[in-house]
Amino acid sequence: MKTVFFVLLSLVALAPTARGQSVPLGSGLYRSAEAFRNHRLTLAVDCKTETHKLRFHEFSGKPYLTVIHGGKPYQVAKDSLFGFRDCEGHDYRFASDNQHYGILNPGEELLLYQEEVPVAGKYPIQPKRFFSPTADAPMQPLALLAVKKAFPDNHRFHDLLDAQFQNGGELTAYDTMHRMTKINWLLRQSRVETAAH
């Protein structure tokens, strides 16, 4: 009986520790593609308890952003960063034009991006979409031929893309059954099939 009591006591004592180790929803900067892949934020805050401001200076065209963190301003060159995460949990990547683009599928290998377009006017503007074969690779306009060229030796992937998108389907489509974008599911399947042969 004494042993059961100590086991229960130790479980109760560990419960707050386990809860404290969960990763809070935060906001901050990704210094590199590796930091993005490993969810390591710089100048990060826990959005439930802290605030900070990110100023992008888009209209003035400045090549840096300003982060107000802990009441102090920090200026960081956009070209020295991979991207950032906002308090809503959305990830963004900086491109060579110093603009930031929303990452549509942050947990996948082949990343899809979309330009941020303000909603205004009677006719909404269709956002431009981009991709990169990995987080380390540069962004490119999203087109079927460009995706094939990014994987030149994966002919099975090319065939699967042609079969899936022959009628001009949406390359950013989400596959609810496999819980990932269709394009990444096809990439994964092409590798599984190639390895099986």
The answer as to whether 44 is a domain residue is yes
Q: What tens digit of pLDDT does each residue of 23-75 get?
A: 446 899 999 999 999 999 999 999 888 888 889 887 777 889 999 988 899 99
The string over 96-113, giving b where at least 16 C-beta atoms fall within 10 Å of a residue's C-beta and e elsewhere, is: eebebbbbbbbebebbbb
Q: What's the pTM?
A: 0.81
The answer as to whether 113 is a domain residue is no
Range of the domain at 80: 24-103
Maximum pairwise Cα distance, the chain: 73
Q: What is the pLDDT of residue 58?
A: 78
Q: What tens digit of pLDDT does each residue of 92-105 get?
A: 999 988 889 999 99
Count up the domains in the chain and report the number: 1
